[in-house]
Amino acid sequence: MTNGFLDSTHNYLTMQQFLDINQNNLVEFASHSINHPNLNALSLDAAREEIAGSKLALEKILNKKIEHYSYPYGSYSNDLIKIVREAGFKTASTTDLGIGQSYPNRYKLKRIRPGSLTGHALLQFLQQN
């Protein structure tokens, strides 16, 4: 969740929608920064504020721990991984393609892009990758 966009004019979630969705135990919100910048373009202090500040704000709003992070634009570095870890996140997602995951790489989780695949076609895609 890019919490700086809540209740904005950017056609994002309203605060009430965010709170309503949070009541569903099938959905878990992760942090995605305050303003969605390219973190590698910021100073480390500014990146730290975007990462840790988002976590703290979301935890205050939802009154629960936020344990997962997703790098804006998938942009990350060893310095950013360190900041994410120090902020108290358990994992972080990139936009790197793949399905193989490991505990040592928990701050560089890969993603799949199934596109329009569903059902059997999606299952085949996952088995082949």
Pick 3-128's CATH classification: 3.40.50.300, 3.20.20.370, 3.40.1260.10, 2.60.40.290: 3.20.20.370
pLDDT for 81: 98
pLDDT at 76 over 80: yes
**What is the distance between the alpha carbons of residues 33 and 51, in angstroms, rounded to a whole number?**
5
Confidence of residue 54 (pLDDT cuts 50, 70, 90): very high
- Which tokens is 55 given? 């976590």
Structure confidence by residue, pLDDT tens digits, 10-51:
677 888 888 888 888 888 889 999 999 999 999 999 999 999
**Which H/E stretch holds residue 111?**
strand 109-111
Higher pLDDT, 108 or 127: 108
Q: What is the mean pLDDT of residues 63-73?
A: 95
Do residues 15 and 7 lie in contact, with contact meaning Cβ atoms separated by under 8 Å? Answer: yes
Q: Looking at 7-118, list the stretches that DSSP marks H as alpha helix, in order from N- to C-terminal side.
A: 15-22, 44-62, 78-86
**What is the distance between the alpha carbons of residues 20 and 61, in angstroms, rounded to a whole number?**
12
**What is the distance between the alpha carbons of residues 70 and 68, in angstroms, rounded to a whole number?**
7
Confidence of residue 129 (pLDDT cuts 50, 70, 90): low
Residue extents of the structural domains in the chain:
3-128
- Which tokens is 38 given? 């390219």
pLDDT at 9 over 70: no
**What is the distance between the alpha carbons of residues 99 and 86, in angstroms, rounded to a whole number?**
25
- For the chain, give the mean pLDDT: 89
HSE on the CB side for 43, CA within 13 Å? 3
Higher pLDDT, 121 or 107: 107
pLDDT for 111: 86
Q: Name the residue type at position 89.
A: F
